[in-house]
Structure 1
Amino acid sequence: MTVVVWTVEGTWPACVDAARAHAPEGADIVLLHVSGQDVPDAAHGAFAGLLGRGHPRPHGPAHGWGRDPGTRMEEQATVSGRELLAAAADRLGRPCVRRELTGRVEREVVAAAEGADLLVLARDGDRSHLGPHSLGPAARFVVDHAPCPVLLVWPEPAPDLGTIPPPPPHA
């Protein structure tokens, strides 16, 4: 059995705890972290767009000229992802594989779950109420497109049943 655990900043402990509780002994567990490209790509574009716009060009590395901030953001995301995966592996306390991917987050997660027997992920939206808004866009995409069974967990205790939205007026 292969279990993929999607680790995200802020909700990863609940996913790791769920995998520890629900994955049988001997299961192959893959801890997955995906760094998105949106912010680094925007920084690359902004940096490229500022070149040659009539601004004085300070010279030398001390002034930062020629250093693309998007590259630095990518490097920081890689380090952050590795640290998160290391903490997740420590919390899991059993053998696992760590996978760090970069790209469009929701699509990378769905692709990584191909061939898995279970995908574990956490709610990432409004967690103060039960209902569909407890899933953000990325988690909603993953739940809707996952090629395997999904275990969807609350990162903290679930809200009480009184938070269920009322039925529509025509029901």
Structure 2
Amino acid sequence: MTVIAWIVEGTWPACVDAARAHAPEHADITLLHVADPCAPGAAHGAYAGLLGRAHPARDPGTALEHLASAAGERLLTAAAERLGRPCARQERTGRVEREVVAAAEGADLLVLARDGDRSRLGPHSLGPASRFVVDHAPCPVLLVWPEPAPSTATIPPAPPHPPHHR
């Protein structure tokens, strides 16, 4: 069995705990982190556009790329330590939601955490990237709450419907 646990800042402990609890002992677990290239790309563009032919070593986009890489590695290291069993670590860069879906191809299970409004039950508990992943995952998905789930009392009331007549 191959299990992918999507590691994201703020919600990763719940994903690691769920992978540990639900993956069989013999499962191959991969901890996946995806870096979004938008911030470094914007910094590269701003530097080039505003400063023209300035010295490339001062490009803030390069510094942001290094910071993002180091942050991803720290997350993966902490996640592997928390998992407490052999695992693979995978760092990808690109459109986050598409990279997660691509990484899940051929997997038996993808573990991810809710990352939207976690104060109530419902579809808004998923952010846009997580919604895309849930809708497009090529394998079963285990969707976990990063903290205890809200009460079922948080479900909005059903919309009024006219009586059903035959």
* Fold agreement, TM-score > 0.5: yes
83, 87, 99: which one aligns with 1:92: 83
**Matches of residues 60-139 of structure 1 in structure 2 within 5 Å?**
66-139=57-130
CA distance in 1, matches of 2:126, 2:158: 19
**Percent of residue pairs bearing the same amino acid type:** 77
CA distance in 2, matches of 1:166, 1:133: 15
Q: Structure 1 pair 52/100, CA: closer, same or farther in 2 (3 Å)?
A: closer
The one-letter code matched in structure 2 to 1:40 is: P
Does the alignment pair 1:149 with 2:144?
Answer: no
SS at match of 1:80: helix
The one-letter code matched in structure 2 to 1:41 is: G
**Larger deviation: 34-43 or 104-113?**
34-43
Q: Aligned residue for 2:42?
A: 42
What TM-score, normalized by structure 2, do the two folds share? 0.93
Contiguous gaps of at least 5 residues in structure 2: none
Q: Aligned residue for 1:61?
A: none
Q: Structure 1 pair 70/170, CA: closer, same or farther in 2 (3 Å)?
A: farther
Aligned residues: 162
SS at match of 2:39: helix
The alpha-carbon deviation at position 134 of structure 1 amounts to 0.1
SS at match of 1:15: helix
The alpha-carbon deviation at position 170 of structure 1 amounts to 3.9
The alpha-carbon deviation at position 125 of structure 1 amounts to 0.2
Q: Deviations over 1:95-150 (max 9, x none)?
A: 00000111110000000000000000000000001000000000000000000000
CA distance in 1, matches of 2:52, 2:33: 37
Q: Aligned residue for 1:60?
A: none
Q: Structure 1 pair 48/93, CA: closer, same or farther in 2 (3 Å)?
A: same
The alpha-carbon deviation at position 66 of structure 1 amounts to 4.8
Does the alignment pair 1:2 with 2:9?
Answer: no
CA distance in 1, matches of 2:56, 2:4: 42
Contiguous gaps of at least 5 residues in structure 1: 58-63
The alpha-carbon deviation at position 51 of structure 1 amounts to 1.9
Q: Structure 1 pair 82/166, CA: closer, same or farther in 2 (3 Å)?
A: same
Q: Deviations over 1:10-33 (max 9, x none)?
A: 000000000000000110000000
The one-letter code matched in structure 1 to 2:155 is: I
CA distance in 2, matches of 1:110, 1:142: 6
